[in-house]
Structure 1
């Protein structure tokens, strides 16, 4: 998902404002014919899982369980306890299920505590991070995807608007989740991973590591050999976008063979979010929802 387009949306305010209309009810934001809100029904969740299947399996060649492959749905146990943020194109004829063009999966700490934990805990020592902040509320972001023809700045704006509004509503202090590089050979991403290791590592009270038995080093090149411009150019858009917001990354990467990715843990305290993004989306999440 092209989060890197966040930089360009800051220069298109006039066009965006002209397209914006006032959302109603449970809609978190609307730009033109696109709107964002949480899924309202199991049928919409099923449709979001179908969108995820199209992106992760048909496009990225992930290997899911036999049942998921048969059903042509990206589905797991967390889907039953997460909230599902959607972007819909209301110009598409048909039911809402046919209008879903993007989705994000949101899991609050209070829900995870009573529902088997966070998805990221299978790869990273999230418990140690949570223990450092007993008074803070965390939220996991996952399964981010957008259909290819909708990977534009408007869709990105609305996904972040929805995340931001949801975080404020639930008093979230920090967000985290896996960010992925394509492929299962970390050395193929030596430049970008080394840049993250030397320049964006979460430290002190925000330090978090990959599970020891899964950890692959990100320290693949000396800092003096890393060209920052080239490293950022080689960065997946999602990870680059989070860095621009003020995110950090955990120590070590993990290879996810099922999804054919190399994962890093993104950690984003709300207090770190860059001021220009807070100003753009609104400190009260009102940029597209007022």
Structure 2
């Protein structure tokens, strides 16, 4: 295993990078189980794996339960896909550019190194605060290793009806929208409004309670969100764009995740 593969540990769980095609295939199988079998996405092939052209140029973050029997691939219980700016340029763009005008945002910050996060999923038995913390520990170590300046990527609400998430979407639109110089908008033709309720009608506590755990985690770190959401009919989701400059992350969260992750970042 490469020296920089392991990026964090909490108890029997560790987070590390996939090391070979078999581990990437295992991550794709977990994505299939979560996105297609559980959440109702539409498969593009008969193969029971979620795969696309970006997988070959991404790093694949894996959550591994070392207490499980079997080989390494049998112990993988979660995954996150990481696409560096350099690899995105070589591939013709980021994955999220099909939904949001990410190219304009990146061009506005020529001296910043962007990292796109995507395809986050964890098996049901492992959907806990501890697993989320481990993922962020791994992402933070990865960002430190590669000197990342800005994290971005799509995050999703379930279903294709934004009105079903009127309060949390309105909360993001009114209170968490990325302003200049980080403003970014959903692509024309795919733009769906997020401000479905007036600002004064939004109950912040109720809105936060209704947020998917991943989006709630981004908010805790200090993330802002793009203007407009996008309906993804293939994955049966309503997508928002996360924008998180490293310097915007709260100091207490850097201390919390960074203290342990620092030893994996060298």
TM-score, scaled relative to structure 1: 0.88
**1:277 matched to 2:250:** no
Tell me how far 1:192 sits from its aligned partner. 0.9
Tell me how far 1:144 sits from its aligned partner. 0.3
8 Å contact from structure 1 (residues 168, 284) kept in 2? no
The match for 1:162 among 135, 138, 142 is: 138
Unaligned segments of structure 2, at least 5 residues: none
Cα RMSD between the aligned structures? Answer: 1.5
Unaligned segments of structure 1, at least 5 residues: 1-23
Q: Deviations over 1:189-221 (max 9, x none)?
A: 111111111000001110000001100011111
3-state DSSP of counterpart to 2:195: coil
The match for 1:35 among 1, 11, 14 is: 14
8 Å contact from structure 2 (residues 78, 121) kept in 1? yes
Could you say which residue in structure 2 is the equivalent of 1:48? Answer: 27
8 Å contact from structure 2 (residues 145, 265) kept in 1? no
The match for 1:74 among 50, 73, 79 is: 50
Q: Deviations over 1:121-168 (max 9, x none)?
A: 010000110011000000000000000001122221221111111111
- Rounded Cα–Cα distance in structure 1 between residues aligned with 2:187 and 2:88: 19
Could you say which residue in structure 2 is the equivalent of 1:262? Answer: 238
3-state DSSP of counterpart to 1:286: helix
Q: Which stretches of structure 1, 4 residues or more, deviate above 6 A after TM superposition?
A: 287-290
Tell me how far 1:31 sits from its aligned partner. 1.9
- Rounded Cα–Cα distance in structure 2 between residues aligned with 1:238 and 1:140: 15
